[in-house]
């Protein structure tokens, strides 16, 4: 029987850049350390929040390697390795494996808009060539394609596929997936505003953007759910909805990097085609952070 890569809260960690756009490893190290100090159960590096889409292959490999070394087995490291080119996804996966990552996160191939059969073949091809457990990543708002529960069922038969980060917002899909897939095909919430309801339906935790600025909050929320204390977890989910909403008032990771900069974490700018946050949204974000006690 498969065991989950992690339970609880995993930060989808941002990648700090200098003013000239190069990776700021000193700031990245401090951000990693702060997440570990905040109690996170895992760190997901080079995902959407980490701006992997605008990294070169060399940068991607180097950032994963740095994260693994900095974490030094204190928590699990999940390396983003997804691509719309299956061979490139294998290439990134093998480098992450060589770096010592604990698992891989593979987003559905974007732009190609493959069929469900193509999705299954893509993931089986990768799984046949790596040793690490794979977490699928379903985020159709970004990729233009979604899994069906039936495709999850087929992929759940592969022992290397550990489960899925579900960010479709589709609770019917989640319920049907939990109904027809085995119990050891695990689900994690990919949406910070849906952690508690998804965990009520059996998700094992969250891969969180909000954790970048409030790791203790997301750890507490997810662990209360794991303890079946959904009443207390629900209160946290509701109490911090304005912070969560503010962190997504523009496309991720624009607001969370702005928030980190406001907190003095030196996240730096985002890379084009992302751009600086609108002033009116900065004000909304700052006010929400002040209410949440994140700014002194």
How do residues 269-289 score in pLDDT, each as one tens digit?
A: 999 999 999 999 999 999 999
Residue 1's pLDDT is what? 86
0.95 exceeded by pTM: yes
Residue 235 lies in a domain: no
pLDDT over threshold 80, residue 296: no
Going by pLDDT thresholds of 50, 70 and 90, the confidence category of residue 230 is very high
* Residues near 256 by beta carbon (within 8 Å), at least 6 away in sequence: 14, 49, 209, 210, 212, 213, 247, 267
Residue 1 lies in a domain: no
Annotated active-site residue in 76, 152, 160, 165: 165
Annotated active-site residue in 123, 137, 152, 186: 137
Residue 291's pLDDT is what? 97
Mean pLDDT computed over every residue of the chain:
98
Going by pLDDT thresholds of 50, 70 and 90, the confidence category of residue 53 is very high
Catalytic annotation on 137?
A: yes
Catalytic annotation on 165?
A: yes
Going by pLDDT thresholds of 50, 70 and 90, the confidence category of residue 59 is very high
Query: What are the phi and psi torsion angles at 74 (to 5°)?
Result: -70, -35
CATH of the domain at 161: 3.20.20.70
Closest CA to 135 of 92, 105, 178: 105
Stretch (H or E) spanning 189: strand 186-189
Query: What is the C-alpha separation between 276 and 233, in angstroms, rounded?
Result: 33
Residue 285 lies in a domain: no
Residue 52's pLDDT is what? 97
Going by pLDDT thresholds of 50, 70 and 90, the confidence category of residue 19 is very high
Query: What are the phi and psi torsion angles at 30 (to 5°)?
Result: -65, -35
pLDDT over threshold 80, residue 73: yes
R_g over Cα of the chain? 18
Query: What are the phi and psi torsion angles at 164 (to 5°)?
Result: -145, 140
The three-state secondary structure class of 101 is coil
pLDDT over threshold 90, residue 6: yes
3-state helix, strand, coil in the chain (%, to 5): 50, 15, 40
> How many independent structural domains does the chain possess?
1
Residue 272 lies in a domain: no
Residue 107 lies in a domain: yes
Residue 252 lies in a domain: no
The three-state secondary structure class of 46 is coil
Domain that includes residue 221, residue range: 8-227
């Amino acid at each position: 029987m498969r065991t989950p890569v992690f339970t609880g809260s995993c930060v989808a960690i941002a990648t700090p850049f200098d003013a000239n756009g190069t990776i700021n490893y000193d700031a990245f190290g401090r951000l990693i350390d702060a997440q570990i100090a905040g109690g996170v159960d895992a760190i997901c590096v080079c995902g959407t929040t980490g701006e992997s889409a605008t990294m070169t292959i060399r940068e991607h490999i180097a950032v994963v390697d740095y994260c693994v070394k900095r974490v030094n087995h204190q928590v699990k490291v999940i390396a983003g390795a997804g691509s719309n080119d299956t061979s490139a996804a294998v290439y990134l996966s093998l480098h992450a494996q060589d770096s010592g990552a604990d698992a891989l996160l593979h987003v559905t191939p974007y732009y190609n808009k493959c069929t469900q059969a193509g999705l299954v073949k893509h993931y089986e091809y990768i799984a046949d060539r790596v040793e690490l457990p794979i977490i699928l990543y379903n985020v159709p708002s970004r990729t233009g394609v979604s899994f069906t529960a039936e495709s999850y069922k087929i992929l759940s038969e592969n022992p290397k596929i550990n489960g899925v980060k579900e960010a479709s917002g589709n609770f019917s899909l989640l319920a049907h997936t939990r109904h027809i897939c085995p119990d050891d095909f695990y689900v994690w919430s990919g949406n910070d505003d849906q952690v508690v309801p998804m965990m009520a339906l059996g998700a094992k935790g969250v891969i969180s953007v909000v954790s970048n600025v409030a790791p203790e909050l997301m750890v507490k929320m997810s662990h209360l759910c794991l303890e079946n204390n959904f009443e207390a977890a629900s209160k946290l989910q509701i109490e911090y909805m304005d912070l969560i909403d503010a962190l997504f008032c523009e496309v991720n990771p624009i607001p969370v990097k702005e928030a980190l900069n406001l907190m003095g974490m030196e996240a730096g700018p985002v890379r084009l085609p992302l751009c600086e946050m609108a002033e009116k949204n900065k004000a909304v974000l700052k006010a929400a952070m002040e209410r949440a006690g994140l700014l002194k």
